[in-house]
Amino acid sequence: MLDLKLLKNNLELVKNGMEKRRAKIDFTPLLNNDNKRKTRLLEIEELRHKRNVVSDDIAKMKKAGEDAGSLIEQMRNVSETIKKLEKELSTIEETIYDFLITLPNIPHEDVPIGIDDTENRIEKIHGKPRKFDFKVKPHWEIGEDLGILDFTRAAKLAGSRFPLYFGKGARLERALINFMLDIHISQHGYTETLPPFIVNKASMTGTGQLPKFEEDLFKLEGWDYYLIPTSEVPMTNIYANEIIDESMLPCKFAAYTPCFRSEAGSYGRDTRGLIRQHQFNKVEMVKLTTPESSFDELASLLENAEKILQLLELPYQVVTLCTGDLGFSATKTFDIEVWMPGQGDQGKYREISSCSNCLDFQARRANIRFRRKDKKKPEYVHTLNGSGLAVGRTFAAILENFQQADGSVVIPDVLVSYMGGQKVIQHDA
């Protein structure tokens, strides 16, 4: 959530940020309500001061044995007026909050201006795509031919956009989860976390999924609970409504969870395979930092996610998202896109991780603050999040990049020990 003071003092900056996002917003109602808020506050303060002064007079009159009945009646009316104005003030403040909570974050000045993902800026390309001397197959064909993926029976169990893994496929998915967590915890210094897979409305609001993106969520009927779309939600909210000590920062959490998304608005896109599912596994990284260190932490977050692909020997590229592709809560995002040789006629890069700095945007919504040494006033933390990585998409990338002419798939060296020593997945005769 944007700071109201920032908005009022730097209105043109905020307007410019919204325009870069192609968001048409009229700030007049907000400014009018803020003026009403200030007027009501002043009226309430004046009446409270009057009540305090007259209350002293009443006390003196009573002590002197004088009749204070008329003044008492006046103060009774003043108290009723104060209650009425406080109710009006509460309504005005709710209206201001409801407006502010719908505004996206302001893009960082380094973010390229663009309409959609075609205008994202390529920052680096790592690794060379493998050249095949046979016809490359997409991962869903490879998986089904090997008997380790079954989308038809998954659809029978749940519906479209759900996976069903078998045998070595299920083990490979589990191997990837354990491998990613081990690297982030033992080498990158994250604290392993196992959060709830269901969260309340306040948690969803804190990270920005609500109220704007409710149609993308799975809500439990009859409950104020939602299935998590990413473990960013519970991990970011761990210290919601708390003031933590500066010595705790940066907080670095990593978790494996299943993720649940309705994929509203994606009708007809990636209907086959593991790219766009209603349920998928992901290892997520979250950081809470001081404001001055958040962009350094973003750089290391990106490096941590890249390291997984480097160890798996999967080619990838890093892009900076343009304003038209930037997420609601982020001020700047790097996407890592892994090479998928089985996608399209010639292969393509597909997103496998997003690493974002949200500044204090989420912290304001979730009320996450820290206190510096020798300073009384607390400050909002900066929050960052990044996939480390999307497990199903990594599984798909391994199948496509390490496929062999005979239909088998070679296991990346770093995963062999996680696979019980198995080096190749082939169809069991």
Contacting residues for 286 by C-beta, under 8 A, at least 6 apart: 231, 232, 235, 236, 251, 252, 253, 254, 255, 383, 384, 385
CA distance 382 to 198: 24
**What does the alpha-carbon distance between residue 375 and residue 43 come to, in Å, rounded to a whole number?**
33
Burial class (CB in 10 A: 0-12, 13-18, 19+), 215: exposed
Q: Is 350 left (phi over 0), alpha (psi -120 to 50) or beta?
A: beta
Is there a catalytic annotation at residue 393? yes
Residue matched to tokens 């002419």: 405
DSSP 325-394: T--TT-SEEEEEEEEETTSTTT-EEEEEEEEEE-TTHHHHHHTEEEE-TT--S-EEPEEEEEEEEEHHHH
Q: Is 261 a catalytic residue?
A: yes
371 tagged catalytic: no
Query: Is the bond preceding residue 415 a cis peptide, omega within 30 degrees?
Result: no
Residue of 276, 313, 379, 408 marked active site:
276
Instruction: Please identify which of the residues 171, 261, 365, 369 carries the catalytic annotation.
Output: 261
Give the number of C-alpha atoms closer than 13 A to the C-alpha of residue 379, restricted to the C-beta side.
16
**Of 329, 353, 354, 387, which one is the catalytic site residue?**
354
**What percent of the chain is helix, strand and coil (3-state, nearest 5)?**
45, 20, 35
**3-state SS assignment for residue 406:** coil
Catalytic residue among 214, 246, 351, 379: 351
Catalytic residues: 261, 276, 351, 354, 393
